[in-house]
Chain A
Amino acid sequence: DIQMTQSPSSLSASVGDRVTITCRASQDISSWLAWYQQKPEKAPKSLIYGASTLQSGVPSRFSGSGSGTDFTLTISSLQPEDFATYYCQQYNSYPRTFGQGTRLEIK
C-alpha cells in the first residue's frame, strides 16, 4: 500500500493568513493526487484533483502543487469557512489511501 503522510497534523491560523499543508507519498504517484475538505459532521468535499486542478466551484484562493512524492495544498487568504480538516488521497494504485488529515483551526 502507498502511505500518505500529511504535515502538520493540526494548524492554528487567522483569517487572512496564507497556509500550506504538505502531503508526502511513500512512492512516486506522479500527479495522481486529490485533496478533500471535511467540516464537522459532514462528508468530505473534493477540492483538487490531478495535484493542481481545482474542482468546479472551488474558490481560487485554494491551490495545489507537486508531483512524484511531495505535494502541497495552499490557501492564499484564509476565510472563516475554510476552517476544517483537509485530507490528501492518492489514486495511483489500489488500495486507495488517504493522509491522516490536517485540522485547520482558528487562532
Chain B
Amino acid sequence: QVQLQESGPGLVKPSQTLSLTCTVSGGSISSGDYYWTWIRQPPGKGLEWIGYIYYSGSTYYNPSLKSRVTISLDTSKNQFSLKLSSVTAADTAVYYCVREGYYPDTNWFDPWGQGTLVTVSS
C-alpha cells in the first residue's frame, strides 16, 4: 500500500523560499501511472491544488502560483519536492503531497500524505 509523508521546516520567514519533500513508500515514483501532486489548505479554509510532476519530469502548475512554484523529483530516493518562493503570510497552510492517477478515468487524489503545517512568520 502506497504511503506518502511530507517533511520540511514548519516555519519560514516572509520573502524566503518554502521547501518541502514528500517521501513515497510502498510504490515507485517512477511509475507512469501517476502524477505526484502538492495541495495546500490554509487554516480553517478549503483546498488549493498547487501542481504536479510526472515521472518523466514534466510539470504543470496552478497559474495562480506558477511564477513562484517549482516541483521536482528524485527517483533515487523515491521523493518529490516543492519549492515556493517569495512567501507571505498568505502561504501559511497545511501542505499535502498526494498521488493522482495518470489516466483520464483515474484522475482522483488518493492517497494523501498526513500533511505538514508551514507557517510564514518573522
Contact = CB atoms under 8 A, between A and B. Distances in A.
Contact residues of A: prevailing secondary structure: loop
A91 B100 CA distance: 10
Nearest to B104: A32
Contacts of B111: 46
Interface string A41-79: 011111001100001000000000000000000000000
Interface in B76-122: 96, 100, 104-105, 107-115
A87 interface: yes
Contacts of B108: 34, 46, 49, 89, 91
Q: Which 9 residue pairs are nearest across A and B when measured between Cβ atoms? A: A91-B107, A43-B112, A46-B110, A34-B108, A96-B49, A49-B108, A98-B47, A95-B62, A100-B46
Contacts of B46: 87, 98-101
